[in-house]
Amino acid sequence: MIQLNNGISIPQMGVGTWTLRGETARLNVCLALQAGFRHIDTAQMYENESEVGQGILKDHIRRITAKMAPPSAPVPSATRK
């Protein structure tokens, strides 16, 4: 586990989603969560939020964090407010 500056700990080992798209992204996230991973590395710039989100929702995970682009950057259509 890695302890953040605010005292919260997150798993050190995570599953990357940068290259994943479509059904492959959804399925890989589901399989990672079923295998016990709780750190899914995701970011707005990967442009696969919808598919990664579908995989997370299918496994009933209650909380995630993601890296977001600065306010001046274009916002992909999959981003929700």
Report how many domains make up the chain.
1
* Segments of the chain with pLDDT less than 50: 81
pLDDT value of residue 27: 95
Q: Which of 77, 81, 28, 78 is nearest to 56 (CA)?
A: 28
Domain carrying residue 25: 2-58
pLDDT value of residue 25: 95
Q: 37 in a domain, yes or no?
A: yes
> Which residues have a catalytic role annotated?
46
Q: 80 in a domain, yes or no?
A: no
Q: 70 in a domain, yes or no?
A: no
Do you know the residue count of the chain? Answer: 81
Calculate the CA 28 to chain-centre distance: 11
